[in-house]
Every structure is written in structure tokens, then in C-alpha cells.
Amino acid sequence: MSNERFASVWDAIEDTPEQAENMKLRSALMRALKEHISRTGLSQSQAAKLFGVTQPRVSDLMRGKIDLFGLDALVNMAAAAGLHVEIHVRDAA
């Protein structure tokens, strides 16, 4: 077993730094959308209507099925929910 340390779980499990960065962004957006649904008390059906997707799609979001969502779709859902998405780019550590 290796004692290697990683900055995030995505750095540990993804094959490339590019894949890890993509997963970090996707997971942050999914987390924000789930928190928005919980905070506003929306049902999955209401959230689906607001986000412009189907209820099963919201169910996948709530169950954390990250592999089913791309960045574009998550950004679109966040914008439809009235959330502001920002990206900060800096040199890698």
C-alpha cells in the first residue's frame, strides 16, 4: 500500500490531472444544485421543471450519479435555478 497523499479524492482516483479537474468542477456543481433543492424545499418534480430537465434526471443528480452529467448540463441547470457560476483559474500547486 502506498502512503502517497493527494489534494482531493479525484486526484487519487482519476487517471489524469485533466480528468480530476473535470470531476472536481462537476462534483462542486452537483453539490450546489443539491443544496439549492434542499434549501428551497423543492420536490424533484419542481426542481426538474425549474432546471428544464426530467424528474428522473433530478433523481440521478440527487443520488450523485456524476458520470451521467457533463459540465455544460450542470452549468445550464444551475443558471436555470438562478445560481451564478464562477470559475477561478490559477496555477497548479
Report the CATH number at residue 68: 1.10.260.40
In a domain, 5, yes or no: no
Q: Rounded distance, CA 22 to CA 16, Å? A: 10
Q: Rounded distance, CA 32 to CA 85, Å? A: 10
Asked if pLDDT for residue 10 goes beyond 70, the answer is: no
Q: What is the pLDDT of residues 13-51, one digit of tens each?
A: 666 778 888 888 999 999 999 999 999 999 999 999 999
- pLDDT band at residue 8, thresholds of 50, 70 and 90? low
> What is the number of structural domains in the chain?
1
Residue 52, Ramachandran bin (φ over 0: left; ψ between -120 and 50: alpha; else beta) = left
Q: Which domain holds residue 50?
A: 10-80
In a domain, 22, yes or no: yes
